[in-house]
Amino acid sequence: MSESIHPSAPHHLPPFITAPGDTDVLMVVVGIILIGSILLVGNFYLHLHTLPERMAHKSQKLQFEIVAVLGLLALFTHNHLFWVIGLFLAMIDLPDFSTPLRRIAGSVEKMAGVAPEPDAAEAPDHTVPRAAKISDVVKTSAAVDEIKSKIQRDLKRGGPGNA
């Protein structure tokens, strides 16, 4: 290392100064730390930015879509007021007006003798099997137990099961 040092340079150089042609380890380490910190801060920012959408995901579809649009507007326009409005909208529960109105319309159609049109939102999707709820399983098992007890009772009496 002493052969490549300029004659006017001091003889005791700090360890972060590299000789010509050698790899600058400090620059590589700082570059890796910089890239990692940019990725971590960006990930935190996007996680924080999607907070209203994740909060509104459990609510109604319309409310979720409005919050998502406000989040996109805040992201692309850098206007933070859209994000704050989306956060407040995600925090409140909007009342469900569509279900009672849909039921009223169905009842009026039934009273008028008009066949109700099938609702696209409530139409069963035959491509995806419906997951059984626990209450459905309990009801089904109770019905099966009741049928078994009736059959056993009829067999003991010599009823319809014995021919």
In this predicted structure, which of 21-35, 84-98, 120-134 has the lowest mean pLDDT?
120-134
Looking at residue 44, what is its pLDDT?
95
pLDDT(32) > 90: yes
Looking at residue 127, what is its pLDDT?
58
pLDDT digits (tens, 9 = 90+) for 93-149: 877 778 888 888 888 888 888 776 766 655 555 555 555 566 666 677 778 888 888
* pTM attached to this predicted model: 0.48
Backbone angles phi, psi at 159, to 5 degrees: -85, -145
What is the mean predicted confidence (pLDDT) over 142-163? 77
Looking at residue 122, what is its pLDDT?
59
- Higher-scoring residue by pLDDT: 43, 107: 43
> 61-77 and 25-49 helices cross at what angle (nearest 10)?
140
Q: How many Å apart are CA 142 and CA 25, to the nearest integer? A: 72
- Higher-scoring residue by pLDDT: 42, 118: 42
pLDDT digits (tens, 9 = 90+) for 46-83: 999 888 988 888 888 888 899 999 999 998 998 889 99
Q: How far is CA 65 from the centre of its chain?
A: 13
CB 21 within 8 A of CB 1: no
